[in-house]
Amino acid sequence: MAELLAAMQNNDEQKTNKKANTDQHEERQSESNAKTVETNPKTARRRTNPFSEEIMSFKMSKNFTLSMTLTLYKGIGDPKIHVTKFESMMFLNSDFDPILCRSFPTFLDGAALLWFSNLPAGSISSFEEFAKLFINYFAASKIYVRDSNYLSTIKQEQYKSLKEYMMRFTEAAMQISDLNPEVQLHAIKSGLCLEKFQEAIAVAKSKTLEEFREKAQGQIEIEEIREARRSKRSTKKEEERPHRPTSKDPRKPFKLAPKFDSYTKFNTKREDIIKEILHNKLIKPPIRPGSYQDQKYVDRSKHCAFHQKFGHTTGDCVVAKDLLERLAR
**Structure confidence by residue, pLDDT tens digits, 87-123:** 888 877 677 888 899 999 999 999 999 999 999 988 9
Asked if 50 and 122 count as a contact pair (C-beta separation under 8 A), the reply is yes
d(CA 46, CA 34): 19
Q: Which domains does the chain have, with CATH numbers?
A: 79-144 (no CATH), 148-240 (1.10.1200), 270-328 (no CATH)
d(CA 4, CA 22): 27
Whole-number pLDDT of residue 65: 80
The helix or strand, by DSSP H or E, that contains position 119, with its residue range, turns out to be none
Contacts of 131 (CB under 8 A, 6+ apart): 83, 104
H helix intervals, the chain: 2-47, 53-56, 79-90, 97-103, 111-117, 127-137, 162-173, 181-190, 196-204, 209-240, 270-279, 318-328
Whole-number pLDDT of residue 300: 74
Whole-number pLDDT of residue 185: 86
Whole-number pLDDT of residue 43: 46
Whole-number pLDDT of residue 18: 62
φ, ψ of residue 145 in degrees (nearest 5): -125, 130
Contacts of 85 (CB under 8 A, 6+ apart): 70
d(CA 306, CA 320): 6
Whole-number pLDDT of residue 202: 63
Whole-number pLDDT of residue 152: 83
Contacts of 170 (CB under 8 A, 6+ apart): none
Whole-number pLDDT of residue 42: 47
Whole-number pLDDT of residue 259: 78
Tell me the one-letter amino acid at 175. Q
Angle of CA points 68, 69, 72, to nearest 5°: 75
Contacts of 213 (CB under 8 A, 6+ apart): none
Whether the pTM exceeds 0.85: the reply is no
Whole-number pLDDT of residue 131: 94
d(CA 256, CA 61): 91
d(CA 155, CA 193): 7
Residues of the chain with pLDDT under 70: 12-48, 93, 143-146, 175, 177, 194-196, 198-204, 236-256, 287-297
